[in-house]
Amino acid sequence: MIQLEEITTIPTFSKQFENKMLYSNHADDISVSYQSTYTLKYVITGSKCYHYNHQDIEVSKNQYLILNKDRQITTEAKKGTQGLSFFLSKDLINEIYHHHSPPSDTSIEFLEITHKDPSSDAHILLHKIAFLYQYDKTAFTQHMEDLFIKLSELIVQEQTHIDANFRKLNIVKHHTKKELYRLITDAKTYLNDNLKEHVDLDSLSRTMGISKYYLHRLFSEINGCTPLTYLTNLRIQMAKDKLRHSKDSIFEIALDCGFDNTAYFSNTFKKYTGVSPTQFRVNS
């Protein structure tokens, strides 16, 4: 049974237990400390800062953070900040983990970093949960337990996938994995923020501060595609949205999505989608 709690004032708890979802809408600035189980923090509006294990991590709108069990946490947030916290059962997390990973006596250890990729399955589900909670309480109540379990499955699957890719790279130290994953996350953020700019592997590696060979290898192992393929996929998705929803010319869309000319855009678009931009627009 999943519990639901709502808070608007400064919470007085000293410990957070398992299998609970907490919605916070802070009427004032807050700072609160407590001990927690496995916890996922998702920010709906504003930003929150979490202090734990001699670290400070900020989580902004539509981002999330996963904390490992038995953390002593201090949460700070400004007035008007809204968020969802998911306090996850150790038994549930361990059962899912052992189902998706090779037999082991160890427990899962999440990378405690801010997750920013809006296209990830966990992000999409969190956005859905927040929407249902705010705008369709009936549907939210009916599906709350299923959503809670599905979210637990997604974050465990994501972490086991990350760990498997790091094993291929012979990287086993948790601290090293955390720093490298943060670097690759920053690379993805940079690509998302520079869709219209000329980006090649040389410029990206200089920006990230590592060799282009190592960046190419890390990015490919963690994300399943090269940095430039990832960038092209982003541009094609952006072009598809514009073809569906705008009246801009093919030339304007090509330039706006970071392609040098119409011919290159059309050839790349057809390679990735199987149809030309004009055919895609007509059929959409």
Encode the chain (284 residues) as per-residue pLDDT tens digits. 788 988 887 776 666 777 899 999 988 999 989 888 899 999 999 999 999 888 899 999 999 999 999 889 999 999 999 999 999 999 999 999 988 776 667 789 898 989 988 888 999 999 999 999 999 999 999 999 999 999 999 999 999 888 888 877 777 777 788 888 889 888 998 999 999 898 999 999 999 999 999 999 999 988 889 999 999 999 999 999 999 999 999 999 999 999 989 999 999 999 999 999 999 998 88
Report the alpha-carbon distance of residue 216 to residue 202 in Å, rounded. 10
Q: How far is the CA of 165 from the CAs of 7, 101, 181, 219, 223, in angstroms? A: 39, 13, 11, 10, 9
Write out the two tokens for 204.
């990206």
In order of their start, the domains of the chain are 3-168 (2.60.120.10), 176-283 (1.10.10.60)
Q: Is the dihedral of CA 15, 9, 86, 223 positive or negative?
A: negative
What global pTM score does this model have? 0.79
Report the alpha-carbon distance of residue 232 to residue 191 in Å, rounded. 10
